[in-house]
Amino acid sequence: MKYSANSLEHFWMPFTANRDFKNAPRLLVRGEGVYYWNHHDQKLLDGSSGLFCCAAGHGRHEIADAVAAQLKQLDFAPPFQTGQPGSFELARRVAELTPDGVNHVFFGNSGSEAVDSAMKIAYQYHRARGEGQRNRFISRERAYHGVNLGGTSLSGMVRNREAFGLGVAGIAHMRHTWLAENRFTKGQPEQGAELADDLQRMVDLYGKETIAACFVEPIAGSTGVLVPPKGYLKRLREICDAHGILLVFDEVICGFGRTGKAFGAQSFDVIPDMMTMAKALTNGAQPMGAVAVRDEIYETIVAAAPADAIEFLHGYTYSAHPGACAAGLATLDIYKNEGLFERAAELSPYFLESVFALSDIPVITDIRGYGLMAGFDVAPDGAPGKRGTDCQKRLFAAGLHVKMTGDAGILAPPLIIEREQIDEMCSILRDVLTKY
C-alpha cells in the first residue's frame, strides 16, 4: 500500500515533538521480520518491537490473512448485548495462558483502556462485597499505566501528569525500585525487597479498609526496565492478602513471552488478582487491550446484579472487535507453534550478555535486564530527556530503532531475533553511544 505524505501539518502526532519531527521526519513504510524500512528505503533493525508490540516480528501474513478473512465475513458486531464467536474463543485462549484461577477476560482497545477498566472492576468488586469505601489506589513512582485519566493518575512519571490537573482522587505512590547499589545488575537485584513495605505504610497511613487495589508492572518497562528486586513482588502479594487489597499486575509490556514465560506473573511466581495486557496480544497488528481477572472477582460482580441485568456498566464500542480478535487468535497460534516464549527464555542469557557488554561505554550509567528486555541509562545532558531524544535520533540514523523515554533506552526486540541480529543491534549501539 503506498500513500505519499503530501502534508505533515494536519496530523497531530502523539507523544512526539511535532515541530521538530516535521522538520526532519522519520517515516516507517515497511516491516518484515526484525526489520523496518523508512521512506528513504533505509533498513532499520527494530530493537524495541515497535513499542514492545511485535513479538512475533513484522509482516506476519498469518495475522494479516486472518484479519482480512474475518473482516470479509463479519466486519463489526455490537459487543453490547450481542456477541461474536472470536471474542469468546480469544478469551478462552488468553485464559489458557494466565495463571490458574485467573480465567475471565474483559476486552478494550489499548493498554490504557485495560488499566482504567481494571480500576473500575476494582471499585465495583469491593462495592459488590459491601466494602464500597475501598476507593483508594496505590501505585508506584516511575510507573507507566497509560494515558487515560485513571492510568495517568496511577502513573509515576512526573512529566506525563503535570499538565493534566489533579487526576483521579485517592491515589498514592510507593517508591520505585531503582537503587544506585543495584546498578548493572543482570536479572533480579538482591537489594530492595523491603521497598514493598511502602504498601504497608500506606495501609497504616490511610487505613486498610480504604484501599481498593495496588497496581504495579512486574517489570516497570517504560521508565527503563526496572526489574523487581528478589522477593519484592511476593512481599506485595503478602501485604495485599493481609489487608484485602487487590493486586493488579500491569503486564502490557511484560505479557506474551517478554520475560521468558507467558506473563511476568509466572516468571516471578506471584499470582495477581487482575492482569492488564495489550500490545503483543495481537502482535501490534490490531489495537486491543484486555484485563484478566480472578474468577471470584467476575463471579462476585455478576452475582450482585439481578439475573437479567447488565452487571458491569462499562465497555467500548470496539471491545473485542472481530478484526482484533482474529489478530489475537492468529498471534497466539504463532506464539504456540513457534514456541516463542520458550525461545525468549533460551535466548535471554545471550541477549543480556551482549547488552551488558556495553557497560564500558562512558555515557552509559546503568544497564538492567530480564528475559528479552533490557534498559540502559545515558548520562543526562542538561534538561532531562535531551540526550535520550538525541540518542534515539542518532540510533535511527545509524539503522536501529530504540524507544527512549527520558534518558533511558528500552531494548525489547522481537522474540524471533537471531543471535547475529543481537550482535548487529549491540554493534550499532556501541558505535553510536561511544561518540558521546
Ligand X SMILES: Cc1ncc(COP(=O)(O)O)c(C=O)c1O
Burial 35-65 (b: 16+ CB within 10 A, else e): bbbbeeeeebbbbbbbbbbbbbbbebebbee
Window of 5-13, 55-63, 215-223, 304-312 that interacts with ligand X by CB under 6 A? 215-223
* Residue 222 binding ligand X, by CB under 6 A: yes
Q: Which residue in 97, 225, 236, 252 binds ligand X (CB under 6 A)?
A: 252
The residue among 291 and 432 lying less far from ligand X, judged by its C-beta, is: 291
* Residue 107 binding ligand X, by CB under 6 A: no
* Residue 250 binding ligand X, by CB under 6 A: yes
Q: Which residue in 116, 217, 273, 377 binds ligand X (CB under 6 A)?
A: 217
* Residue 221 binding ligand X, by CB under 6 A: yes
The grid coordinates of residue 382 equal: 542538561
- The strand pair at 373-378 and 274-277 is best described as unpaired
How far apart are alpha carbons 82 and 228 in whole angstroms? 42
Number of residues that bind ligand X (CB under 6 A): 15
DSSP H stretches of helix in 39-184:
49-52, 61-73, 85-97, 111-128, 149-154, 158-161
Contact 363, 433 (CB under 8 A): yes
For the bound state, the minimum distance from the C-beta of residue 236 to ligand X, rounded and expressed in Å, comes to 16
Window of 38-46, 216-224, 346-354, 373-381 that interacts with ligand X by CB under 6 A? 216-224
Provide the edge-to-edge strand list for the sheet that holds 373-378: 364-370, 373-378, 408-411, 403-405
Bridge partner list, 148: none
For the bound state, the minimum distance from the C-beta of residue 435 to ligand X, rounded and expressed in Å, comes to 29
* Residue 256 binding ligand X, by CB under 6 A: no
* Residue 111 binding ligand X, by CB under 6 A: yes
For the bound state, the minimum distance from the C-beta of residue 288 to ligand X, rounded and expressed in Å, comes to 9
Site string for ligand X, 337-376 (x = CB under 6 A): ----------------------------------------
The grid coordinates of residue 272 equal: 495477581
* Residue 218 binding ligand X, by CB under 6 A: no
Window of 96-104, 206-214, 248-256, 390-398 that interacts with ligand X by CB under 6 A? 248-256
Helices and strands in the chain, H and E counts: 15, 15
* Residue 110 binding ligand X, by CB under 6 A: yes
CA 410 vs CA 24, 71, 283: distances in Å: 23, 34, 18
* Residue 144 binding ligand X, by CB under 6 A: yes
Closest listed residue to residue 290, CA positions, set 102, 110, 95:
110
How far apart are alpha carbons 421 and 347 in whole angstroms? 12
**Residues from 260 through 299 that contact ligand X (CB under 6 A):** 278, 289
* Residue 48 binding ligand X, by CB under 6 A: no
The residue among 143 and 203 lying less far from ligand X, judged by its C-beta, is: 143
Q: Where are the beta strands (DSSP E) in 192-300?
A: 211-216, 246-250, 274-277, 289-294
How far apart are alpha carbons 137 and 149 in whole angstroms? 13
For the bound state, the minimum distance from the C-beta of residue 414 to ligand X, rounded and expressed in Å, comes to 16
Contact 265, 99 (CB under 8 A): yes
CA 22 vs CA 3, 12, 18, 79, 347: distances in Å: 17, 10, 6, 39, 38
The residue among 354 and 405 lying less far from ligand X, judged by its C-beta, is: 405
| Angle (CA) 8 11 12, round 5° | 120
The residue among 45 and 252 lying less far from ligand X, judged by its C-beta, is: 252
Window of 27-35, 107-115, 159-167, 393-401 that interacts with ligand X by CB under 6 A? 107-115
* Residue 334 binding ligand X, by CB under 6 A: no
Window of 67-75, 140-148, 159-167, 411-419 that interacts with ligand X by CB under 6 A? 140-148
When CB distances to ligand X are compared, the closest residue is: 111
- The strand pair at 289-294 and 274-277 is best described as antiparallel
Site string for ligand X, 52-91 (x = CB under 6 A): ----------------------------------------
Contacts for 345 with CB less than 8 Å, ≥ 6 apart? 260, 261, 371
The residue among 31 and 218 lying less far from ligand X, judged by its C-beta, is: 218
The residue among 225 and 428 lying less far from ligand X, judged by its C-beta, is: 225
* Residue 324 binding ligand X, by CB under 6 A: no
* Residue 112 binding ligand X, by CB under 6 A: yes
- The strand pair at 373-378 and 408-411 is best described as antiparallel
The residue among 49 and 222 lying less far from ligand X, judged by its C-beta, is: 222
Q: Could you list the residues that contact ligand X (CB under 6 A)?
A: 110-112, 115, 144-146, 217, 221-222, 250, 252-253, 278, 289
